[in-house]
């Protein structure tokens, strides 16, 4: 009977581990245009995605380093209102690149507005913590109901 309780505890821990990304590498939402960003995809970070974010940053911002100094990744969400319309890029970036700190290039500065967020946990761009929390709460409720129904006695 105690083994059943241990099984549910282990299953719950594994589900939470998968949900929070402890089993695999960093996962970030990724898209490269305002249209794509209406439904971004959650992807595993790769060097190609980090290099694409570097290219984006280099195009719109000044003094972005072209060489990374680490292989560690962060998630990045960048939105910039330019004279020709909004530009969005969500994805992975090297942790040594501080994507939200660079100045906008002069050709994009006319009445610009910028929103930027860089973070280092799964799915933190955009803020999807509510979905993860909901999953954890539902899992806890199911385990509690099963335990109180006699499955763990």
Q: Is 85 left (phi over 0), alpha (psi -120 to 50) or beta?
A: left
Instruction: Indicate the number of domains in the chain.
Output: 1
pLDDT for 54 equals: 95
CATH number of domain containing 83 = 2.10.60
- Would you say residue 50 lies in a domain? yes
pLDDT for 110 equals: 92
- Would you say residue 11 lies in a domain? no
pLDDT tens-place values along the chain, 153 residues long: 455 554 444 344 444 444 443 333 899 999 998 899 999 999 999 999 999 999 999 999 999 998 777 789 999 999 999 999 999 999 999 999 999 999 999 999 999 999 999 999 999 997 443 344 445 555 556 656 665 666 555
**Cα–Cα distance list, 61 to 55, 105, 120, 135 (Å):** 10, 5, 22, 38
- Would you say residue 146 lies in a domain? no
- Pairing mode, strands 73-82 and 113-119: antiparallel
Q: Domain span at residue 79? A: 25-132
pLDDT for 152 equals: 54
Residue 90 near residue 30 (C-beta atoms within 8 A):
yes
């Amino acid at each position: 009977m105690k083994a059943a309780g241990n099984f549910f505890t282990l299953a719950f821990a594994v589900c939470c581990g998968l949900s929070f990304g402890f089993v695999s590498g960093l996962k970030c939402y990724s898209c490269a245009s305002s249209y794509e960003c209406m439904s971004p995809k959650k992807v595993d970070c790769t060097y190609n995605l980090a290099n694409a974010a570097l290219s984006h940053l280099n195009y719109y911002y000044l003094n972005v380093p072209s060489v990374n100094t680490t292989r560690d990744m962060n998630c990045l969400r960048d939105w910039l209102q330019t004279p020709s319309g909004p530009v969005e890029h969500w994805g992975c970036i090297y942790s040594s690149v501080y994507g939200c700190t660079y100045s906008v290039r002069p050709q994009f500065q006319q009445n610009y507005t910028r929103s930027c967020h860089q973070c280092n946990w799964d799915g933190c761009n955009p803020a999807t913590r509510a979905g993860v929390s909901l999953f954890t709460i539902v899992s806890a409720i199911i385990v509690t109901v099963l335990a109180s129904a006699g499955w763990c006695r």
